[in-house]
Chains A and B, each alone.
Chain A
Amino acid sequence: MNARSFFRYAEGLSLGALMCACGEGAGRYGHARSYVPYADEAELTYLEFRLAGARNDPASFFRNRARIFGTVVRRVSAPGAVTLVLRQRELAPGNTCISKNKDAWMQEDKPPESTCRVTVTDERLPLIRAVFGEGAGAAPELLPGDLVMLVGLIDYMDGEPVIAASAYRAWPKGEFIMWESTALSRLARFD
C-alpha cells in the first residue's frame, strides 16, 4: 500500500470520506493514460454492480462488496441518511488524453498525461441508488452531472438492491470525459 491511504472502506463503520489523493503523480483525479485506482481501491475485491443480476439473484449479491461508476442524477436527503441517485456508467478501457495538435496521433506525439482524463461511456445503463449513512461529512457534496465511483455493500430495501456506500471517489465536471460508447470503439487513442 502506498504511504497515503485514500480510502476508508471498513463496511459497517462510518463512511470513508475521500481524503487527499495526490499519489503516483496522477493527482486526485487520476490524470494518467489509464485509470489509476487509489491504493486501497486497488486492493479491494468487489463485484461490478449489475442491477438485473442483483435483482435476480439476491442471495449471491446480498452483503457483497460492489463497485460502481455513475454520474449524479440527484441527491435525496432524509433523516440520518442521504441517497444518491446515479446513472450508472461504464469505465472506458483507457483514459482520454487531449492534444492541442490535431495531427498529434499521426505524428506519434503523445499529449502529456496532464491532459488525460478518466473516461466513461454514455451507454444507457440503469439508475442506481446509493445510500450514505450518518456521520459528519458522510455524504459527498456532489452536484448533478459529477462522476463518482462508489464502493459499498449491496443491500436490499423494499426488495430493491441499493449500495450502502462505504467509500467514494469523485470527479467534478471537467475532470472526466464521457464518450459515446460507439465512438469510443472507433477512436484512435493514445496509449
Chain B
Amino acid sequence: MRRLQLPLLGCLSALACEPQWHLVQVQSGRLRGEFVRSSPCVATPAAKAPLTTGVYVGENLRNVGGDRIILRFLENGEVWAFLTYTPGEKVRCEPVDIKQAAQRSKSRWPKPLLARYCAGERELEFELRGFNHREASPVRYTFTVSADAQQLRGASDYDENIEAHWVEFESVCLAPGTEEPATESPCAQGAKDRSPTAAHYSSTR
C-alpha cells in the first residue's frame, strides 16, 4: 500500500524522541490508579524550555470522557493533566494526593492523570490514560508549541484542531480544601514551587 503522510501522528521529534509507553500502577491505601509513562525521552529539559512553567488551557482540550482538562508541563519532563471541576472549571492547586482526589470523585477516575512528555524542538507528544465509561483508553496528544511558547496547537485521538493557551497556574486552580475559586493567594506557595513527582506515590512497574 502506498504510504501516506498522516499529520500529527507518530513521534515528530527531531531529537530521536522515541517514547515507549508502559503502564505504571499507583497505590494509595485501598485506592489504585494507573498512568502511562513514556521512556526514554532523549530530549533534554533544556529542549523543553518553552514548557517548563505554567499550564495550558483550551476550550477544545478535553480528555477521553469529554471533560475539559488543563495541562501542566514540568521541568522534569512530566505532564500533568487536570480534569476541571464544573461549574467554575477550576482545578486543585495540589492535585497530587490521589487518595483525596479519588474520595472526592467517588467512582470517577482519580485526578490528575500523569505522563511524561517527549519533546524536541517545538513539537511534543505524550499519552494520557483516561476512562471512557469503564473502558481504559490511553489517549495520545501531539502538539506544536508556538514560537513565543504561549500557545499549543495539535490534536489528540479524540479531537482535532486543539488550541490551548498558556496561563498562570494560579489563575485556574483552587486553594487546597476549598470548593470555590480562590480570590486571594489562590495557591499556597508550596504548590507553586513544588513539582509533583512520582515520589508522592508508591509505584510499581
Contact = CB atoms under 8 A, between A and B. Distances in A.
A131 B158 contact: no
Contact of B66 (A81, A124, A158): A124
B199 interface: no
Contacts of B136: 52
Given A81-B2, A157-B9, 15 more contacts: A51-B137, A55-B138, A56-B138, A73-B160, A74-B160, A124-B64, A124-B132, A125-B132, A131-B1, A155-B1, A158-B9, A159-B10, A160-B10, A162-B6, A164-B1
Contacts of A129: 6
Interface in B1-53: 1-6, 9-10
Interface in B100-149: 132-133, 136-139
Nearest to A87: B158
Contacts of B180: none
What is the interface of chain B mostly: helix, strand, loop, or mixed? loop
B168 interface: no
Contacts of A85: 160
Q: Which of B64, B65, B137, B160 is packed against the most chain A CB atoms within 10 Å?
A: B137
B160 A157 contact: no
B157 interface: yes
A56 B136 CA distance: 12
A172 interface: no
Interface of A: 51-52, 55-56, 73-74, 78, 80-81, 83, 85, 123-127, 129, 131, 133, 155, 157-160, 162, 164
Contacts of B158: 124-127
Contact of A52 (B3, B66, B133, B137): B137
A92 B38 CA distance: 36
A74 B155 CA distance: 14
A129 B6 CA distance: 9
A56 to B, nearest CB: 8
- Scoring A51, A74, A129 by chain B CB atoms within 10 A of each residue's CB, the highest score goes to A51
By Cβ-Cβ distance, the 9 closest A-B pairs, closest first, are: A158-B10, A126-B157, A160-B9, A124-B66, A159-B10, A52-B137, A158-B9, A80-B2, A126-B158
Contact of A124 (B65, B138, B160): B65
Contacts of A80: 2
Contacts of A56: 138
A157 B10 CA distance: 9
Interface in B43-81: 64-66
Contacts of A83: 4, 6
A151 B90 CA distance: 43
Nearest to A74: B160
A73 B159 CA distance: 10
